[in-house]
Amino acid sequence: MKRHWILLTCAVLAAAAAAYTQVQSDIVIRLTGGARKVVALPDFGGAGASAQFAAVFNATVFEDVQRSGVFTMAPKSFYPLNAPQQERDLRAPVSPQAQCGGLCLSDWGGAPVNADYLGFGYLAEQSGRLVASGNFFNTRMEQASSARVFTKLYTGELSEAGARKIAHEYAADILAQFGVPSLAGSKIYFVSDRQGKRTKEIWVMDFDGGNQRRLTHFNSITTMPSISPDGRRLAFTTYAKGQPQIMMYSTETGRFIPFRNSAAPTNAQASFTPDGRHVLYASSVSGYMQIYISDLDGSNPRRLTTTRAIEAEPKVNPKTGAEIVFVSGRGGLQQVYRMNMDGADVERLTNGEGEASNPAWHPEGRHLAFAWTRGYAPGNWNLFLMDVASKETVQLTHGQGRNENPAWAPDGRHLAFCSNRTGSYQIFTMLADGTGVRQLTTEGNNWMPVWSK
């Protein structure tokens, strides 16, 4: 197969400059919710044995809330000198203009902090356990009883791992007030060559880059991971047996699951249907790479495309299960196309300029993320969003090397992707508007992230 099909790259057309700003705001607002509230998160203090874990706890809470994209973070340099630790520390101002040194909600809601919400609390050790008392208040209300959003205790091991656990839980409760699921507990699977430049293996890490570990040990080229909707099966393509073939792996047992490959030189790029009962993949049974669908174990394969061109990267709409996007060279340079589940009603989504690849459905099934070689940085791959119905696009990355393999987070607000902007290929995450970019990997080269709930 050609290099771009194997590496799963992707793309889309650029809008006219005069209309670009309006299109960008419309699409991004639909995906991110528009304007953000301001939150202040003063550090929790810790007494006794809990004090050594305060820094880890505070950093984790701040990063989780900031990463969500729900809030604008009030600068800590603007915070009052004192912060409440529990609800009984709060005071009512003696007059509308009076301040309380940080113990009145109005101290946080007014200038210079101008926060809409305040999170505060403290850490303690109780019976060998780490305990956090977490509070979240609306600063626009003077009376604490009316301003209280929640007050809750969190417990974990008296360790850094325990501190991160309860910090994730506290941050998740904050985000839940705004209908945003926490990413804590979600996993990112990816390809890495960090243990040998001639080999590539499948690795997994936490959503924030923590706990990176190797899953496959073929000492070969193993690539193109895909995760089932329930997160229990991981499919990937490996050269371990010579020709590229699809393999299945149980994320629960750590064992391999039988998969019946078609008799072909190449079977690759497996992806799952939303009900988890079928697999789509690209196979060279006919000579050219074409799109097939089979049962979950690879049996009963059925061909969906019939062209004398490379057809690859099939992805089923996760919301409807009724349509497939894929990449094809049937019209010349590879472009992103759409078709029904039976292969009918094929429609090109991108406009034919440059090369397009790596289509990734948003969880709501109306938008795509993908990579494109054209746009505002000719010659490089950049990431774009597309509204599938209107074919309007928004560019997310700009002139920072090759940016490929977008993968949506379960919350639909974040994307993982790979980029060589640092000199080697690494995994990054960002918000759906292209902001909040964070690098998750640093060792070797890393590609093709997929995000599992």
Q: Per-residue pLDDT tens for 53-74?
A: 999 999 999 999 999 988 999 9
Task: For residue 425, give the DSSP letter.
Answer: -
Residue scoring higher pLDDT (23 or 162): 162
Q: Which amino acid is at 354?
A: G
Q: State the pLDDT at residue 399.
A: 80
* pLDDT for residue 36 is more than 60: yes
Evaluate if residue 115 carries a pLDDT over 90.
yes
The structure tokens 């928004």 sit at 394
Measured CA to CA, the distance from residue 128 to residue 329 in angstroms comes to 62
- Res. 17 pLDDT band, cuts 50 70 90: very low
Write 218-222 long-range contacts (CB < 8 A, 24+): 222/191
- Considering the chain, tell me which residue range(s) the CATH 3.40.50.10070 domain(s) occupy: 37-176
Which pLDDT score is estimated for 25?
A: 43
**Rounded to whole angstroms, how far apart are CA atoms 432 and 415?**
6
The pLDDT of residue 1 is: 41
How does pLDDT run across 431-445, given as a tens digit for each residue?
999 999 999 999 999
pLDDT-derived band at 24, boundaries 50, 70, 90: very low
Rounded CA gap, 292 and 300, in Å? Answer: 10
Instruction: For residues 55 and 47, give the distance between their C-alpha atoms in angstroms, rounded to a whole number.
Output: 13
Its CATH architecture, for the domain 37-176, is 3-Layer(aba) Sandwich (3.40)
- 58 or 398, higher pLDDT: 58
Task: For domain 3-32+183-452, give its CATH number from 3.40.50.300, 3.40.50.620, 2.120.10.30, 3.40.50.800.
Answer: 2.120.10.30
The predicted model gives 2-20 an average pLDDT of: 35
**Stretch(es) of the chain classified as CATH 2.120.10.30:** 3-32+183-452
In this predicted structure, the answer to whether residue 12 has a pLDDT above a threshold of 60 is: no
Band (14; pLDDT cuts 50, 70, 90):
very low
Percent of the chain with pLDDT over 90: 84
pLDDT of residue 92: 87
Task: Answer yes or no: are the C-beta atoms of 38 and 116 closer than 8 Å.
Answer: yes
Q: What is the mean pLDDT of the chain?
A: 91
Q: What is the pLDDT of residue 29?
A: 60
Contact 281, 290 (CB under 8 A): no
pLDDT at 7 over 50: no
Considering only CA atoms, which of 237, 330, 314 is closest in space to residue 279? 314
